[in-house]
Structure 1
Amino acid sequence: MIKKHINSLSPGMVLGKPIYGENYEVLLKKGVELSQGYIDRLKTRGYACLYIEDKDTEDIVIKDPISDKIRLMATKDILKTYKVTQTAIVDIEADTSESVIRSINTPKVKRTFQESQAFKQMVENIDSFLEEIMGQDILSGLNSIKTVDNYTFEHSIDAAIISLIIARRLYLDKKKLKQIAIGEFLHDIGKIFIDVKLLNKPGKLTNEEFDKIKQHTSFGYELLKDIDTIGYVSAHIPYQHHERQDGKGYPRGLAGNNKLDKGEITYVEHDKMIMGAEIAAVADAYDACISDRPYRKGMPPDLVYDLIKNGAGTQFNEELVNCFLTVMPKYPVGSEIKVIRGMYKDFTGVVASVEISQMTRPKVKLLYDNKQGKIKPVEIDLKSDASFEIQCI
């Protein structure tokens, strides 16, 4: 199986994974042969990449950290929680952040959110989500297909997966993992109080517009802060996931100390980031950067890997980044790659597998020559040959 950009698809290619609609109904089943009509309609719906199955890549297994069943359940739970909360704010007229916060703290909004069956079901179902994550040691890659319509929900799931894999590597207990999962599922829920046209603006934001979007962190915290049953961390992940180690983040300019708080996932000092939010900051940034958005294309995963690595100590907790680099491969399985140094320079292919001991030197399978002519597949183990360098395309 190989992950291909929508613009490189051609009629006759076969889907390797099913395609779901905005309400998570099945649009196209796995194994469907793509026609030009299907490709055009998927482009119109905002699909940027698809998984394709063919003879040359049929031995490449792209393992999702969670099953389709659990992913669908979780995304639907988040979707329903957002929708039921939005019904409570339809009649709210608030033009300042202070008035929005006052509205969030009204009994109507608080009660609608906290007592909704959707929210309660989401919290209950997280246990099933955690059970599947508990069996994962590394991520071969993130496999969700995001569109404009489902981005928030799929992003929340993928950010939660990354956070939980990191948290497992740190040997945090299940109670702490659940708090992190709830916080990640709802880390962007404050955006429902912000104009959707602003959130999806295709051009560059003005300073005033960006200041409005920054407020989603405070809005999310205000919505979650009084719910004792989900824990302190769950509310502070939405609040703090855009803070930085150097104190230059938002909304409060909190700082970190670039150390792991091994005893707890919170700091005693109130002017420091909690560790759960430091984990979320890494996960949120990685998944947001690799994802296509209305205003930009997603970055190649190897560049995002380096971005996270280079942000250690200033933007991200340095010790947590070191942990992240042990669970996230630089070149995810199924990614299209190009040889930039070595015998097969400018040949292209796909990442075939990744070993936990060599997360930056995968096995690759070359499928096309330097003129994009189809070739008999050539397998190369970068771990055994230092002369080769690759990049994601």
Structure 2
Amino acid sequence: MGEHILKIHISELKPGMFVHDLSSEWTDTPFKKRFMVTDAGMVRRIQEYGIQELYVDTIKGDAPRGNFVPEDVVSRQLDGTIEELVKDSSPTISVSYTEEIAQARHLHEMAKDKVSNLLQDARMGKSIEAEQMEPVVAGMADSILRNPSAMMSLGRIRVADQYTFEHSVSVGTFLIAFARAQQLDEATIHQIGMGALLHDIGKTQVPEEILNKPGKLTDEEFAAMKSHAQRGHDLLASSSGISAIAQEVVVQHHERFDGTGYPRGLKGDQISTYGQMAAVVDVYDAITSDRCYHKGQTPTQVLRKLLEWSKFHFNPAVVQQFIKCVGIYPPGSLVRLSNQYLAVVLETDEARTLHPTVRQIFDIENRRPVKPRVINLQNESHSELKVVNFEDPQKWNIPLEQIIPR
């Protein structure tokens, strides 16, 4: 960040400017993540994809005329809003993280296996037997009711070549947790969870070289990629055991509140509540994850983006509810503490999202692992300790799968 990155309205964008951030989930547009605007036709194309506000780099390209807000000022304002949102929630757990993690891990592995098998069946043209997912969905929902932190922490552990089904399980976890936080009834939660676990099944009908292509897609490739939402709906509509709610999650998770999404360009309340929730969760998990063509961003960065994008692309109320649900420091995150130790976030319920329970694991000053120690930052005896920021596990060569308890 810096003063040279400025937020502007699309009407201010001119050829010669360098786009730093489209202020939209960039895989939902056929543009590179960052690029030079070469002509007026490119400006029109950006407008056609519903981009209203964006950031330009005034070092790499021309500066807009007038006074504009720098990116770091926008970020501070957004952080203040996020902290206000998470201040006044209530506890939602019935058992401790350490009591629940073993069962959550078992269910998480089972879900990955089931989703992987179903995606493989769909890829080979076999019929989709979604009923086999029902016990997994029910188990995940029960685990999240007991302690959502346990299941959510496991979503941070990823294998690079297993993105599609690991993303599906993670979206399932977050969407079930979100639905529980909204106090929806049990049957609806299960149907939402089923749709979430299968939301990307249409990608089995899209060539992998398109799904994994770094950088800009051609118009034809982008159209093929966008077809996955409708293809997924069509696959499941012909299968038994898939409810209307589950199908809404599948077909609507790329719709946008301002009508700029796909496949149907639905707008506002034309998108079901469950589709609106799925859209937010899908983007949250996608851009916090490492992928073959981009590095995942920290949860704080992504919450800022969701809040900012809710001005146009998402229902603001749904985004605010999701931020309250997931919190600033999601379980499984690696963080730096004010005592210069690294710790993994274990427990974070809605009442103490600013003061999570963490597992201290690494001495930064001496660059060495330490005997793990669980610290509740809400406890008065640790009132001097706080989370300073997120850290990248790869930077410290710390594999999260080894430090989240079994």
Q: Same fold (TM over 0.5)?
A: yes
Structure having the higher helix fraction is 2
Match of 1:392 among 377, 390, 393: 390
SS at match of 1:359: coil
- Match of 2:285? 287
Q: What percent of counterpart residues are identical?
A: 29
- Match of 1:224? 236
In the alignment, residue 113 of structure 1 is paired with which amino acid? S
Match of 1:350 among 322, 325, 343: 343
SS at match of 2:127: helix
> RCO higher in 1 or 2 (8 Å CA, sep ≥ 6)?
2
Match of 2:141 among 112, 123, 130: 130
Assess, with a 3 A threshold, how the Cα gap between structure 1 residues 354 and 169 changes in structure 2: closer, same or farther.
closer
Q: Which runs of 5+ in 2 are unaligned?
A: 1-96, 392-406
Q: TM-score, normalization: structure 1?
A: 0.64
Assess, with a 3 A threshold, how the Cα gap between structure 1 residues 67 and 138 changes in structure 2: closer, same or farther.
closer
- Match of 1:359? 353
The alpha carbon displacement at 1:148 in A equals: 3.5
In the alignment, residue 225 of structure 1 is paired with which amino acid? A
SS at match of 2:121: helix
Q: Which runs of 5+ in 1 are unaligned?
A: 1-59, 89-111, 258-271
Question: Per-residue CA shift, 1:13-57, capped at 9, x if unaligned?
Answer: xxxxxxxxxxxxxxxxxxxxxxxxxxxxxxxxxxxxxxxxxxxxx
What is the distance in 1 between the residues matched to 2:150 and 2:265? 31
In the alignment, residue 77 of structure 1 is paired with which amino acid? K
In the alignment, residue 73 of structure 1 is paired with which amino acid? M
The alpha carbon displacement at 1:282 in A equals: 1.5
Assess, with a 3 A threshold, how the Cα gap between structure 1 residues 224 and 298 changes in structure 2: closer, same or farther.
same
Q: Does 1:76 align with 2:71?
A: no
- Match of 1:307? 305
The alpha carbon displacement at 1:67 in A equals: 2.0
The alpha carbon displacement at 1:206 in A equals: 3.5
- Match of 1:103? none
What pairs with 1:153-192 in structure 2 (closer than 5 Å)? 153-192=165-204
What is the distance in 2 between the residues matched to 1:373 and 1:226? 55
Assess, with a 3 A threshold, how the Cα gap between structure 1 residues 113 and 124 changes in structure 2: closer, same or farther.
farther
What is the distance in 2 between the residues matched to 1:306 and 1:246? 19
Q: TM-score, normalization: structure 2?
A: 0.62
Q: Is the CA contact (8 Å cut-off) linking 2:134 and 2:194 kept in structure 1?
A: yes
The alpha carbon displacement at 1:390 in A equals: 1.8
SS at match of 2:353: strand
Q: Does 1:245 align with 2:282?
A: no
Aligned residues: 290
The alpha carbon displacement at 1:191 in A equals: 0.6
The alpha carbon displacement at 1:369 in A equals: 4.7
What is the distance in 2 between the residues matched to 1:77 and 1:373? 38
- Match of 1:262? none
Match of 1:149 among 128, 145, 161: 161
Question: Per-residue CA shift, 1:307-346, capped at 9, x if unaligned?
Answer: 223333422222222221222131234533246xx7x6xx
What is the distance in 2 between the residues matched to 1:240 and 1:374? 45
The alpha carbon displacement at 1:141 in A equals: 4.2
What is the distance in 1 between the residues matched to 2:315 and 2:160? 30
In the alignment, residue 328 of structure 2 is paired with which amino acid? K
What is the distance in 1 between the residues matched to 2:167 and 2:149? 19
What is the distance in 1 between the residues matched to 2:369 and 2:139? 43
In the alignment, residue 229 of structure 2 is paired with which amino acid? T
- Match of 2:248? 236
Match of 1:368 among 357, 363, 384: 363
What is the distance in 2 between the residues matched to 1:369 and 1:348? 5
